Amino acid sequence: MWELVKLDDPADHVKRLTLNRPDAANALSKQLLYEINEALAEVEKHKNTRCLLITASGGKAFCAGADLKERAGMTDQEVVDTVTLIGDTIHRVERLDIPTIAVINGVAFGGGLELALACDLRLSSNSAKMGLTETSLGIIPGAGGTQRLSRLIGLGKAKELIFTAKPISCETARAIGLVEYAYDPSILQGEALAMAERIANNAPIALRQAKKAIHQGFQTDIETGLQIEKMCYQTTIPTKDRLEGLQAFKEKRKPIYRGE
């Protein structure tokens, strides 16, 4: 269906979106961005999906960021339009109502790291390097990096990474909370899938409401956040899944959730 993106179902209720431009370090060309959006539309359409993995082909790069060779031939307006397309695509990933996991199997620079930042969790190869390197190119992160990185790791560390444009190791990224886990490349994909399956075993309505409560509450004060949590919790009360969870606990068995 697509040349630059793969979308498959590695486990029940789990989809995996794979960037497939390994010869170009999976850089974000316009065509790749178009195909990512088409794949995301498929994910949004399948309501039985409970978790999405985002990774890349090849072992060297998760995503090197914008396609600078393509950009070199653009007018200023075309650059603006392309940066907007990157930002809108990444924001669409963030807006997905299901949990998302970035599986960083190689270098993640610029827009590639911004894509990972839009995911809920980040698992990395222990040999990967990452960074927001835009200031070394005369620009700034333009697809959410200045906002999402500071919210994730704090103002000081975010400013350091953006101002210096210095790539960091996976070990450093884990130490500052940029990635949750680091694995040997040989087991990274398996560990990521295991986490996705564990997530997907839980009640899908509860997963969506938990993500909504966290995201919306984080942007506001604690009192408003608690009200958001209350509303999201109340959404789960009349569901069949909640009753199934209670019944399964009583019967000491694994619950079977249907998203109802």
R_g (Cα) of the chain, nearest Å: 19
Residue 133, SS3? coil
**Do residues 118 and 93 lie in contact, with contact meaning Cβ atoms separated by under 8 Å?**
yes
Q: Is 197 exposed, middle or buried (0-12, 13-18, 19+ CB in 10 A)?
A: middle
User: Active-site positions?
Assistant: 66, 111, 114, 134
Instruction: For 20-164, list the strands marked E by DSSP.
Output: 51-56, 61-63, 100-104, 107-109, 121-125, 129-131
Phi, psi of 162 (to 5 degrees): -75, -40
**Do residues 212 and 236 lie in contact, with contact meaning Cβ atoms separated by under 8 Å?**
no
Residue identified by tokens 């839009």 is 118
Spatial distance between the Cα atoms of 103 and 179, rounded to a whole number of angstroms: 10
Spatial distance between the Cα atoms of 72 and 116, rounded to a whole number of angstroms: 25
